[in-house]
Structure 1
Amino acid sequence: MAGKLKMQQIAVMTGYSVSTVSRVLAGKSNTSPQARSAILRSAQEFGVLDELISGRLLINGVIIFAPDRAFNSRDDTFYNEVIKGIVEAIAPHDIYIRYCGLEEQQADLKLFLKKASDSNINAMIIIGVDDPTIHKLAATLNKPCILINTTDREMLLDNVSPDHRAIGFSAARHLYQQGHRRLLCLTSLRRDTMVSRLEGVKEAARYFHAPFDEALNLVVTEGFGAVESEAALERWFSQHSQEQWPTAILCAGVFMAKGAQQVLQRRNLTVAQEVSLMVTDFSWTLSEPFSPALTAIQVPCRELGIEAVHLLQNRITRPHTPVFNLMLQGRLLVRDSVIRTTRSIPREHA
């Protein structure tokens, strides 16, 4: 009864019929943008949106933009898992989902505008597309839009991503706390997110007053595969004296760690006992067989999609709140591939 009374009050305040109010609050798309805006604004004043914020999504259709490989689990498991998280969070609602592939940079602007401007699409989620022009266009379409795992330098759109800098810091901190000072970081830097993770590693080095010289403590590859990582690390070892060899290697993925293990085995170096090995990676990759079991920072993945839907609901019900970034932390998994050397490095205070 209270719900009907509030709908009647919203109808009186806005000049629209009760049936139109009902359609808007049910998330149906067969209303004009003007009606939708007026009714949602009035619903906010009457407190109706506060009641709905943990309930139904007030949209009829959502489109997911992502690189083409994201829609095939064999091409990009990470983004495919993120999409599964979105689908999981939307499943309880009567909403249809559309998909569209976009390049990470220099995306097809005409295609984006065509798909995003569809009258049946009320909201957008953009995954892994760093093109700033896409972000600017999305902010002008008067439709709620959430970014996932990308960088919006104009700060126009809400974004959810792993806290890559904190993940890098946490991984390196664990190694430094185990007494390691000669740390070698094996990573790809093809995306800004991985650069942020490396910055976290450097921050940890500064925090523990440990040396970090890119010429000595960093090996960069193009991708994350075992073969490429093995070749790059083999070159590094052949170019450095044994006194410079690391006591710990931090890899940006399990497959990179497999490449590193091959290099260590050729030099009769045992993982953990002689060189500790640690990774940052996702849950399904960390389930890959590896001996000894890898100590790791588990990077959030499917959770990104779930939280993006909650952000979308928040943006719909509270459209004028400040734009913000939601950063999800990683989780430390202490296993067998890292052991303490001599003692933890104390944190020196000025």
Structure 2
Amino acid sequence: MEAAAASTSQARGWSSLPTDVLVLILGNLRWSSHPSVALVCRHWRYAASLCPFYPAWITPLLLNTAEVGTANIRYYSPYYDKNFKVDDTLKVPSAKICCSTGRHLKMRADKSLVFDIDLVSGALVEVLPQKPFMLFNFVVSDRDERLFGIRAMFTIEIACAIRTNGDEWEDWNLAENSPDWSQLRASPGTNPVLHNSLLYLLAQDGRLAVYDLCRHHEGFKILDKPNSFGFKCEDSYLLESNQGELMVVAIERRGKKVHLVKLNEQSMEWEKVDSLHSQTVFTRSLTTMMKKTKFNRMQNMIFLPRFYQWPETVHVDLVARDGELAFVPKLPFCADTYLDTCGTNIWSYELAHGAATKEFWGTERADYSIWVDFGDN
């Protein structure tokens, strides 16, 4: 009798725990452990589906709003092909997005101010220094230690502000030198990029201007090389690769072809890159980034914020728990969050095969959008 009871107890084991008990256990585990729990057996997988969440760190997200400063925040995930709508607003009416660093978003308002917003709490963290009598086209943040404001119309001007040891910002310091804009027409959609402690500004034809903070009074200097990309493109976006190389995503008209080139800093010429290997590029916003991914269907891809149809919207809270961020649906939501999705509605280009996943025609751009990376803290 005792042997039979022991055998029955052993047979039941962990896999037969009541669903409500499993849900309570899952509620006390880190979100990143849930996929492993779901792989144990069908019963545990079902319990995991009753605790739905979508990791916010899994890939970069496209933050977009219908109207900057007033509408609710939406994050598009190219992995899940869903929009996650958060009730918080950007709370800065009439402000325009500048740049992002991790969970922090910089926005520029009409009253000559730059705001720093915490995207997780929704709080307005601080108001950064007023502008020095000029209208910035670009704002670049260096890990919140330095701030650069660039004007690239008619002249190329730059101002910098530095955070002091007392955690306050110095006043803007405007550089003296201002090259003629006609000498180098900045690519209108690409932010200047910090690379090896220098700030690079990309021209429409592939030429570069460079700024050295140690020689601040000189402002931007236009380089003799590189001369151009060697081909025509409609849009071009500058980024620094994971290997510390200066690269450009160059897009022909209507996405007919997408080129990736890197700067050979010995010869100062652009060289073609044929493969991203296990990496992914997210571009065509004021933030262009390259990220390593473990998802095969996203490797060697370039994603642009253009959609064939508006993705499904899930109303969520953006929740921080044990150092992890996740989108948690507001209403009971039974969905299998662990299955890899088959396809997306976002336009993408596979660099290795030199072709888009779908035709560019019929896509619609997401206005007021920027790629943000909650995995970059």
TM-score, with length taken from structure 2: 0.21
| Structure having the larger proportion of residues in strand | 2
| Structure having the larger proportion of residues in helix | 1
